[in-house]
Amino acid sequence: MSKFLPMKPTPPLQRRARPLAAPWVSLIVLFATVAGTGIAAAQMYPQVTRSAEIAITRDPGPARIGARDPEVTIVEYFDYNCPFCRRITPMLRQVVAAGPRLALIYKDWPVLGPASVYAARCALAAGYQGKYLQAHDALLGGPGLTSDAEVREVLGRAGIDVPRMLSDLQAHAADINRVLNRNDDEARALELQGTPGLLIGRTLVPGVVGHAELLRLIAAARQDHGRR
């Protein structure tokens, strides 16, 4: 898992100075055994309340793939400079494409420095030209990002209209800030310590998960959905 850099937070993500938004104060993580999935009985995963799951998955915008009416939604909190996020991205896409009634929501959570923050803001700005997912894949598909210029170069090669993106970055700055701050509020309420962080249904996996385990957790989430 990639953890926070010991550095001063870069706006708009004022993690320690900015209080949690009111809806996330009550987003309490409950601990419960994930049963009926073949996982060892001693293995415990944090679980969120149903109301928290609904709040987190509400209004995902363009950062979503998969079924429109899913039984199970996977939420990934990620950073474009996180090598572990790069590692699990193909697996998550494959599982969602192959599985019935599955959806995946990407939550940009840039915690690894200024280049990560700029990359997240640019990807969200690219969404205003209908190319968020294209930007997401391009930024996660290469090596680590070290500068704003490198981010723009990667996105330009991926077919993003960079001048329009930069214009949207300014024109929609307040909305982009709200998305990033919301994601940060959620991640802190979930007590994530780094990236990636996965929410599979109501089950929180704070780190990398293997393919077989991911499938078991999805199966458990389907069971949970069926009991509602």
pLDDT in the model for residue 225: 72
pLDDT in the model for residue 24: 47
- Complete domains list, the chain, with CATH: 29-226 (3.40.30.10)
pLDDT in the model for residue 40: 37
Residue 16 has pLDDT above 70, yes or no: no
pLDDT in the model for residue 174: 96
pLDDT in the model for residue 134: 96
Q: What strand order describes the sheet that includes 102-108?
A: 29-33, 44-48, 203-205, 197-200, 72-78, 102-108, 64-66
Each residue's pLDDT tens digit, 18-59:
555 545 444 544 544 444 443 432 247 888 888 899 999 998
Least confident of 5-9, 85-89, 142-146, 197-201: 5-9
Residue 228 binned pLDDT confidence (cut-offs 50, 70, 90) = low
pLDDT in the model for residue 144: 83
CA-wise closest residue to 165 among 131, 195, 192: 131
Each residue's pLDDT tens digit, 67-116:
888 999 999 999 999 999 999 999 999 999 998 899 999 999 999 999 99
Residue 210 has pLDDT above 70, yes or no: yes
**Mean of the per-residue pLDDT values of the chain:** 83
